[in-house]
A and B are shown apart, each in its own frame.
Chain A
Amino acid sequence: MGSSDWLALRTTLELAGVTTLVLVLLGTPLAWWMARTRSRAAVVLEAVVALPLVLPPTVLGFYLLLLLGPQGAIGGTLQSLGLYHLAFTFTGLVIASTLYSLPFMVNPLRDAFAAVGTRMTEAAATLRAGPWDRFVHVVLPLSRRGFLTAVTLTFAHTVGEFGVVLMVGGNIPGETRVLSIAIYDHAESMDYAAAHVLAGSLLAASFLLLLVLYAINRRHAVVRP
Chain B
Amino acid sequence: MEWFNAVVQGALLGGLYALFAAGLSLIFGVMRLVNIAHGDLIVLAAYLGLSVTLVLGIHPLLALIVVVPAMAVAGYILQRGILNQTLGQDLLPPLLVTFGLSVIIQNALLEIYTADPQKMNAGLLETASVSLGGLSLGVLPLLTFAVAVLVIAGLQWTFYRTALGRAFRAVSDNQDIAQLMGLNRHHIFGLSMALALAVTAIAGILLGIRTSFDPSIGGGRLIFGFEAVIIGGLGNLWGTLAGGVILGVAQTIGAKIDPGWQILSGHLVFLIILAVRPNGLFPRISG
Q: Do these two chains really belong together in a complex?
A: no
